[in-house]
Amino acid sequence: MMRSYGQYCGLARSLEVVGDRWNLLIVRQLLIAPARYRDLLEGLPGIATNMLADRLRDLETAGVLERRLTGEGCAVEYALTPWGSELRQPIEGLIRWSTPLMIRGPEADAFRPEWLALAVPALLDTRVTTRPSATIGLEIGDAPFQLRASSSGFEIGAQDGSALDATVRADPAYILGLAAGALTLGDARALGVVEVDGDESVVLAVFAA
């Protein structure tokens, strides 16, 4: 638990809960989906096992997440509380703010396609939310997804057979930088084709509204 700032300020008190190293990244993983301990270790490359255990305890105590026992046997699962889920807004703000840092490209950093599920909605132009019929196609690895944008938010589901209006193919490690710089739904423009040099590929397609 972070040492108190001793300031009666909303920002300071928030940071006493989620300002510790790794905390917001754990919340990021749980915003994508509830997860088990092992999933979190994989989704947070570089974290030490004791750090993850400590942080999960802190965040549970603070009321940001909760431990749940899934149906089969005694499997432990971690999920955000309603209050913890509301961190989506500031986290999306930080993802948008990172644009100048992301367009440098991935360099030696790790990349996980699941992070797109959080980043792409955050990076889409806000005009999307006023166009109820907007739909974006996402293919992560071999699994095709469809990202539906409506006034009530974004929803990821199975992809139907809609024709593509524009298509982009990019290495997973570059897709975020490309999206940050160029992706807006208002004009649905193609981002261009980038060479794929890894064995894992992501196809990001923008459909017409």
Partner DNA sequence: CCGCATCCTCATGGATACTG
Partner DNA sequence: CAGTATCCATGAGGATGCGG
153 binds its own copies (CB under 8 A): no
Residue corresponding to tokens 């974290």? 47
Q: Estimate to the nearest angstrom the gap between the alpha carbon of 45 and the chain centroid.
A: 15
Rg of the chain in Å (alpha carbons)? 18
In degrees and rounded to multiples of 5, residue 113 shows phi and psi of -55, -30
117 binds its own copies (CB under 8 A): no
Interface residue with its own copies among 54, 96, 159, 165 (CB under 8 A) is: 96
Query: Of 25-54, which residues contact DNA (CB under 7 A)?
Result: 36-38, 46-51, 53-54
Angstrom distance (rounded) from CA 12 to CA 76? 32
Angstrom distance (rounded) from CA 192 to CA 107? 20
7 binds its own copies (CB under 8 A): yes
Q: Smallest distance from the beta carbon of 165 to its own copies, in angstroms?
A: 26
Q: Smallest distance from the beta carbon of 181 to its own copies, in angstroms?
A: 12
H helix or E strand, kind and range, residue 102: helix 99-102
Angstrom distance (rounded) from CA 170 to CA 61? 41
Interface residue with DNA among 11, 33, 76, 94 (CB under 7 A) is: 76
Q: Smallest distance from the beta carbon of 76 to DNA, in angstroms?
A: 4
How many residues touch DNA (CB under 7 A)? 22
Q: Smallest distance from the beta carbon of 173 to its own copies, in angstroms?
A: 6
Q: Which is nearer to DNA, 38 or 104 (CB)?
A: 38
In degrees and rounded to multiples of 5, residue 141 shows phi and psi of 65, -120
Query: Where do contacts with DNA occur on this chain (CB under 7 A)?
Result: 1-3, 20-22, 36-38, 46-51, 53-54, 56-57, 67, 75-76
